Amino acid sequence: MHFILPTHNLRCLSIKIETLWGHHDNQEAYEFRPQDYPQLTHLEIVDPPRYNSCVDLDWEGICKLPSLAYLALGCLCGYGHCYLFNVMEEILRRCPKLRALIIVSRDYNFITALKFEPVLDNPRLVYFPSSDLYVGNRNQKNIRTERTHLWDRAERLHSEFGTNRRKIDQYVNPCPVVYGFPH
């Protein structure tokens, strides 16, 4: 994919994949090629493609971005994003330079499923139980400021609140579960 605007000097990008590349019927995955994004250090993918979506993303390309230090996956919900658990593990394994993989979700089903995944124990995975970053009538200056501080907040919140499991246990209503259903 070649862009009209140059991406070589781009350092920070927050996108919804369909917005950047649009929908099309061919089966090619959308690629993040290292030669297109050599200086990209901060990437936020809002509402990544869901399982069985007509939109596909080449996660391997993200792993090959040479300067990537922070990756955020936001608006994760339902079981449609649960396939990302394996993707997250693979990204953390293949990207030793990645300082933090940030996931943002308030969806009960997604969070409950996440509680049982080994990726949750990785210290570079940072969980935000808030979607405040994606809602509200904010002016453009506030949105830019919040995005700039998202990465700093991720490191600070992770150190303040301890493990991801503890954060998730605090968020998900701690009620007894029998056969996968709350009492």
The SS3 of residue 70 is strand
Sign of the Cα torsion 90, 92, 98, 104 reads positive
- The structure's pTM equals 0.77
108: left (phi over 0), alpha (psi -120 to 50) or beta: alpha
Model pLDDT, residue 45: 93
Inter-residue contact 82 to 111 (CB < 8 Å): no
Per-residue pLDDT of the chain (183 residues; tens, 9 = 90+): 555 678 889 998 888 887 766 655 555 667 888 999 999 999 999 889 888 887 788 899 999 999 999 999 998 988 899 999 999 999 999 999 998 899 988 898 998 899 899 998 888 888 887 645 444 444 445 545 555 566 777 766 656 555 565 556 655 544 333 333 343
Structure tokens at 72: 């955020």
Distance from C-alpha of 145 to C-alpha of 105, rounded to nearest angstrom: 21
Sign of the Cα torsion 154, 157, 160, 164 reads negative
If one counts every other C-beta atom within 10 angstroms of the C-beta of residue 153, the result is 16
Q: Give every strand in the sheet of 125-128, ordered side by side.
A: 12-15, 42-46, 70-74, 100-104, 125-128
